[in-house]
Amino acid sequence: MAGRSMISFLIGAIGAALGSYIYLTMQLDMSSGDYKNASSIYEFSVKDTHGNDVSLEKYKGKVVLVVNIASKCGLAKNNYQKLTDLKEKFGERGLTILNFPCNQFGSQMPEADGEAMVCHLRDAKADIGDVFAKINVNGDDAAPLYKYLKAKQTGTLGSGIKWNFTKFLVNKEGIPVNRYAPTTDPMDIAKDIEKLL
C-alpha cells in the first residue's frame, strides 16, 4: 500500500511540476512579446529610454496612443506640438501617449536613448508623454509590440508602417481600435479619444 501511495505522490508531483512549467513557459513567451497569441498590449514589456523594463500592464484602464517618433522628420514639429496639446487636453482624463523613437525612415532619429533623447525632447518643448527606447517598427527585428499593433490594425496599403508618426489608438482594455496615417494631425484624433475615455 505504501508503494502505491508513493507512486501516486510521484505522479501528482510530476503533473504539478509539468503544469507549472507549461504555465511559466507561456508567461515568458508573452512577456517577450508573442504577438500572435497576445490579446492586448498589456501582455508586452518594452524598455524605457534609460533601458529599464516597463510592463505595458501599467497602462491598464487608460486610453493609449502609440506613436513612432523621429526628430528630423518634416512632420516632427507639428506632431510634437499637437501630441503635447492632446496630452494637456486629455491626460488627466485617462489618455497616455507612448512614444517610440525609430530611425528606420531616412535615419531621421539620430539621438541616442537616455539623456540625449530627454534633452532633445526638452529642447523641442515636446511634453508628449512616455518615451521608450529606440526600436524598429518593420522587418524581422521589429519590436513585438509593433508586430502586434500592425497585425490588429493594418494600414491602407498593408500592415507595414509607412513613415514616422504613424499612430495607433488603443482602448482601455488594451485593444488597438484604430490606426492613423503619419500625416493625420493628432488633434484630428481627439474625437476618437473622447469616445473611448
Residue pointed to by grid coordinates 485593444:
175
Q: State the catalytic residue, choosing from 63, 64, 67, 73.
A: 73
Which amino acid would we find at residue 167?
Answer: K
119 has catalytic annotation: no
CA distances from 11 to 67, 88, 125 (A): 50, 59, 63
Element of type H or E holding 7: helix 2-31
Q: Can you say whether the dihedral through the CA atoms of 75, 161, 196, 95 is positive or negative?
A: negative
Q: Are 138 and 161 in contact (CB under 8 A)?
A: yes
Q: What is the 3-state secondary structure (H, E, C) of 38-84?
A: CCCHHHCEEEECCCCEEEHHHHCCCEEEEEEECCCCCCHHHHHHHHH
Q: Active-site positions?
A: 73
